[in-house]
Structure 1
């Protein structure tokens, strides 16, 4: 498993790495030391993804004139 010491290039790549870590940890075959390291890496990836999502939400707020509204699916029907 690759170390995540450097920032991720994209949200998608970080999410894919996080999914790999989750799969490996859920297998139950990981030694404790590796599980702890993977957990730390996963937490870093989660923080990165949350930051990217917050940035995207802020950009949407700007694009929507700070009037970000909940999605109403009934309007499209």
Structure 2
């Protein structure tokens, strides 16, 4: 499963839970699945943030003046 699929499923769960005819038991199952999906999405976002941080740190590193002279 990827982030987009998880988010789409999560949105569908919300719609299902908002329906008036959803039983309590079904609502609890949907809620439980929603919690799993939220955790998955949060983990995915956290990894993306870490990757961005690493890339930004690499971008902002001072350039070695010896390497510039070689160019």
TM range, smaller chain: 0.7 to 0.9
Q: Give the aligned partner of residue 56 of structure 1.
A: 48
Higher relative contact order (CA 8 A, sep 6+): 2
Tell me by how many angstroms 1:66 deviates. Answer: 7.3
The number of residue pairs the alignment matches comes to 59
Q: Pick closer, same or farther for the CA change 1:25–1:63 going to 2, 3 Å.
A: same
5+ residue gaps, structure 2: 60-71
Instruction: Give unmatched runs, 5+ long, in structure 1.
Output: 1-8, 68-77
Structure with larger Rg:
2
Q: Which contiguous aligned blocks of 4+ residues in structure 1 show a shift greater than 6 angstroms? A: none
Q: Give TM-score scaled by structure 2 length.
A: 0.78
Task: Give the equivalent residue in structure 1 for 2:67.
Answer: none
